[in-house]
Structure 1
Amino acid sequence: MNLLKRLLQLILLCTTLGLLTLFGLYYYVKSDIPSVKVLKDVQLQTPMQVFTRDGKLINQFGEKRRIPVKINDIPEPLLQAFLATEDNRFYDHFGIDPIGIVRSFIVLVSTGEKKQGASTITMQLARNFFLTREKAYIRKVKEIFIALHIERLLNKDKILELYLNKIELGHRAFGIGAAAQVYYGKELHELSLAQMAMLAGLPKAPSALNPIRNPQRAKLRRNVVLGRMLTEGYISQTQYNEATQAPITAKRHGAEIELYAPYISEMVRAYMVKTYGEDQAYNSGFKVYTTVESNIQAAAQQALIDNLHAYDMRHGFRGPEAQYWQAEESPWSATQILERLKQVREIDPLRAGVVTALEEQSATVLLKDGASITIPWAGLNWARAYITERRQGLPPKQASDILAPGMQIWVREKDQSWMLSQLPQPASALVSLDPQSGRIKALVGGYSFQQSQYNRAVQAKRQVGSNIKPFIYSGALESGYTLSTIINDAPINHWDKSMGVAWRPKNSPDVYSGPIRIRRALAQSKNVVSVRLLRGMGLNAAADHILKFGFNNEDIVRSESLALGSASLTPLEMARGMSAFANGGHLVETYFIEKLTDSYGNLLGAAQPLTVCTEEEWEVDQYTCAPRIISEQNAFLIADAMKSVVWGGGSWKHKTGWSGTGWRAQALKRKDLAGKTGTTNNSVDTWFTGFNRNVLTTVWVGFDDPGKSLGRAAYNANLGKQQVVGAEAGATSALPGWVQFMRAALKDEPLAPIEPPPGLVSVRIDLKTGLLSERNDHTSRFEHFERGTAPTKYVLDTGSSTPFEEQLPDTEELF
């Protein structure tokens, strides 16, 4: 009894001393223990992701890769793998595991080394959030007390969820969601048992045990995890055998980009950083859904690339990037070639290669990836020599006229065949909007973001040429002109006293039709008519009217050159202004972010654009309506006149037919399209803007050097009748890219014509005089007028009508 009594006293004493020690340690470290309440609303450092409107990932920004997942979305075998390996009694203990602590103490006493940590998942969570990985006794004490606090604050599932989303797993992957993507390019539910076990083995040493850096050590660790799962009864012997025999399949994966659209995603990044600051923007897990549609954005990017290559090809081949060996030297081996090609940075869609052999009309090329390809004659015959932007050499007759073995060249694949290629020298931009709301449907700022991050769609202010004319004609209609008003298309000579010279604006080509209706003058982009209309309105009145379309005052030059397009605008500004003609006269605000969510998909904000409203909707809630800047009748009349830019007029049967400058858009075979070409002096800037009621697109092509001409292209006998020849202009440089894009954007879309609004009348007029006509033949047509503005006099019926001078279909305007 005395022995038992002494033993109980000893136990009581030890317990008392232990409790006193525990309390002493607690009060010693209490001031260093952080509050764990932040874990209730913790924001893990998660990168910002940018998506298309339909949910395709287009970019990711942030220092850490993390894809937060909810506990209910984690496959059970993956949970079991972590529990079996890290803390199998997790759901039974209260934050610390006494058995594990005793085991660790025994190892320390017997070996003198801290080989075993005894940390529970809760303790690891405490360390990951609040402490360092330093193996120190005082850190372990803090870890224990923080873990006890965490267990009082959160339930077990929440603790496990935070742990699995927080842990570092190598290659900048934090959390199991990111690790699955980085190592396997998969979501969690797509992982095999062996892959899940591999992830569960990483927390011990994510750098040393990851399967990319050390596949053999990683495999051994994976099998240890599988062994623990077998011991705990989570898997069967058969599953264990199959998983341990599975090969190592991990390799490094980037973010699963589904559509690479760098110009629009960079706009998002800049906006988010400006709005939220760098730290919050990059690490708060924002998911930004843009307004662009993936299929339309992809079509825009491809159209811009193809259009620039088409320009570049008709202006000739500028030669190889380098010559690895000369004809009199021994050819390099494949190993030597590939070693040199490693240093070449490829720019999509171009591939680097070296010519290794030539046949009469084909070339064999070794690519950077080691593949050997053949370029057929159809991929070579365009490559006459480039001399200047305005001159090209003779068409080649055989491959040796173009290439020689040892040349390092660029190639690209088109229509499942290889083509000789080169990096295009001009630049381009494309913007497509929903004119009813201002939503950006597609935006491309250049050929390659790798080559240049300069976003020409929103940053490049370039002279707009004849793209300004619809705004001038709109002002003319407000000043009393009509689409049937006759203006004299004749040369202008205006003496400028200040300059001491005469200003002589010219048409391009330098052809004049005499008296001409305004509709046809706009369709054929008659420069002198535009100047006469500007004078008729008054310069300031015209400039003030143009400013209604949302342009900046400093960009609208108040001189008569304004009529010819001396204003400088960005493609986005042009698209926004033109939208008024497509939407009935409203100024919409363009926007590129549809909505913003947190990392779990909870909505944080959504776009609330001002939209086009009816008069009744305006009276009910004008604050959600885009402001009206011109009348609905004015907008329709200009849009209808712009249809003549595409479809022309007159009667080809009776030899009075004429084409508008945008006749190439007829290839789309849609009667709901309107548009306007634009070319500045010396073909420096070229434009085309075209639309129906639902889609409006602007394309610009030019050199980044604002004074460099796009030149002209001579006929290439190798290429047939469909090639573009002559001076570069809006109709030849910009319009083909617009046609290619709109073919994709309008595919399967019903016709969306702009319907005549109330307040208009339609009467038959004489094509020559613009007066009323009683004839029902090729000499007349129906024309729209605002009520009260239609002509009141009839043309004298002489039985004949003198046709205008015929205008050939391939005529282009200069301005």
Structure 2
Amino acid sequence: MAEQPRRSKPKEKPRGTTKKKKRMTPRKWFFAAFFTVVIAIVCGIIGYLFITLNGERILTEKADMLELGEASIIYDANGKEVTKLYDANANRENAEYNEIPKQLINAFVATEDQRFFQHSGIDFFSVGRAVVKDVIARSKVEGGSTITQQLAKNIFLTADKTFFRKATEASIAVALENKYTKEEIITMYLNRIYFGKGVHGIKAAAEYYFDTDLKDLKLWQMATLAGMPKAPNRYNPINDPESSMTRRSVVLKLMYDQKYISEQEMDEAKAVAYEAPADLEEKETDPYKAYIDYVIEEALKVMPGMTEEELRIGGYRIYTSLNQTAQQAVEKEFNDDDNFEKSPDDQKAQGAMIIMDHRDGTIQAMAGGRDYVRKGLNRVEVKRQPGSAFKPIVSYGPALETGDYLPWTVLNPDSQKCFGDYCPRDPHGASPVTMQQAIKESRNLAAVWTLNQVGVGNGVAFAKKLGMELTSEDRNLAIALGGLTEGVTPLQMAEAYSVFANGGKSVDPHSITKIENAENKKVYTYKAPPSKQLMKKETAWYMTEMMQTVLESGGTGTGARIDRPVAGKTGTSQHGIPNFNSSANRDAWFVGYTPEWTAAVWMGYDITDKQHVIKKSSSQAAAMFGKVMKQAMKNVPKSSFKEPSGVKHEVKEQVSPTNFNAVYIPEQAKVQLSWAAPENSEGITYRVYRKEKSESDFSVFVDAATTSVDDMSVFPGMTYQYYVVAYNAEEDKESKPSESITVEIPETEVDIPEQPMEPDKPDDGEIPGLPDDGTNGGEVSPPPSGDPNQPVETETPGNGGTVSPNPGGNNGNGNGNGTAGPDQGAGGPIESADPGAGNSNAN
């Protein structure tokens, strides 16, 4: 029998190493679940008690804050109070629950809190939905606050959004639900909520925006009011009718979805256009509305998370850079109808203006429009086409920055009148012109030619540095004349020109200097960002030099002149209306600066059509600048533009006199010299050079202040050569000589009359002509007049006397026969009208 193979015994595990797997018995499962539920219940009870008790405590302590907060105050640059953002006695009238239409409550519930009548202060369903949407979007896109929570939140006027803040809101919401009925809560909410324009409460809002009582509100009006609390400054129908109408449609759709209204009611209410009450202007008493609106917007940006309601009734002290002298000047001129074109109907010609100190970026004054019925449409922040005011930003500025162009560089648009399919119009033609003259006269072809030379990409990049973010559609030569896809705002234009005024350094426009809370602790202090050199200081200086000529005679902005240095540029944009043949414009601009302040003025219509176009061009915008700035700056110390080191200066060649003429006048035995003065002859005199034919070199014959002189020192039979030069004594520079003229003086015959001969007398021993010394005993006798041994003296021409300059007009040749020339300085140059008036993009 074969031997079976041995089986190896399994290795024995060391004792003590065996680990038995524990099993969860049903009993253990029961106890684990039981204690988990108990702990959860205990935690829930504790949390509920905390929320309830904490909310009750806070509600008891701060119940008075349910009615009103402390007014925030705005101060001007001198620390003087300008206005309160909220007054307990202004624009508030509480309504009782039975005064509020049911459909109005439905509109707010449908929009703000759809489950308001079902939850107990906290809507966990809405919170969960909001969390899911936030997770999907990976950011906070939807809130879960109920109307009760919003009412609770308004008690606490801090801007933090921490967990504890939200927990406190929730606890107060629960306390409110326990203490008040739903009807009382919605009534408190509607009486407290802010509706923009300083209006608090639903009753005051109905009266202010619609001039009606609550009971008479129509569905479209209810929906309009229900849409406003989310953003009262943006969604109220006066500030922005279009945004308000869009928001109204959202509210109506929500009401329809929740079966509060029919589809027909929804459609009818969507279609109604808002018209402001006739007496609305009388209701608005806040001063400087556009500036205050801007301050509020800026405060909400620098205090992230704060609502406008919290800002207004948070007891804050907001210190601004408002200059009341400047602001009052703006208000005065914008309230004067004579400063604006007359409209054919009720749509007024509008305007906007902003003034800022480019030395520190502080906004001094602002006008958002001619009236404040629509103050929310702050035209300082509305984009318009800048026209020729954009030339320094996108064309000439980039050219100067390359270093290849200077103000006296000659531009040659005559070499190219069309650029592909683009052929810009220019009433000045296409002749060569210096850059300075092109800016002064606002020549179109020169600007387009220059941009084409430096490249559109460089022009766009330069504009971007100055705060102009152009679109991809703007990469074309039309931007040289301000033809932009979206346009730019007056604020952007003021900021860009401020860089030129500030030596090429960046400027940060702002209106708020600091904010303090109710406890007088600083919660915000303005800190200027680091200054950046956005362009060469030479570029900024050259541009300032050139734009000063815009205000000189022959420039397009003469109306902007004031009693201090000003540089600036006009601009107009074409109306762009199809099938409308007119030279009228859509927009008119003047943007300019003194050594201290920069200002931008825009004029036009909110809606441009054939009946609503600008006919006076940019001259009225320049005039507005001049009128306002003269008053606004009366208390600002005067200074001058400071030329930086390293800039180049044009070496100007003195222009020679023309039409030089020299004629001999026999009757007066003189040479009469005359010539025509060259252009720009201010401050120059003239030097006449002469040489006799036998002389080798010319010498100065006379210095004259007039354009004619006489040479009385000529001799008969002699030949003389003359030429004249213009002389600049300040620069000690002569022009090139005029043409030389030769003048021959004819011979003059002298007639000597014959004298009769006397008979000889006997010689008595006297020697004629000797003095009587007692030796000869006779008198000295004169020689006989006819003695041929004595020379005969003939009359010769005057010897010319002493040559000296004679600024009084006499030719100074010593004979007293000089003639006075014309008074070159009398009266000064005559100012011409705006050459660009009525020409699209030409000024």
Report the TM-score when normalising by structure 2: 0.46
Higher fraction of helix: 1
The higher relative CO (CA closer than 8 Å, separation ≥ 6) is in 1
Report the TM-score when normalising by structure 1: 0.47
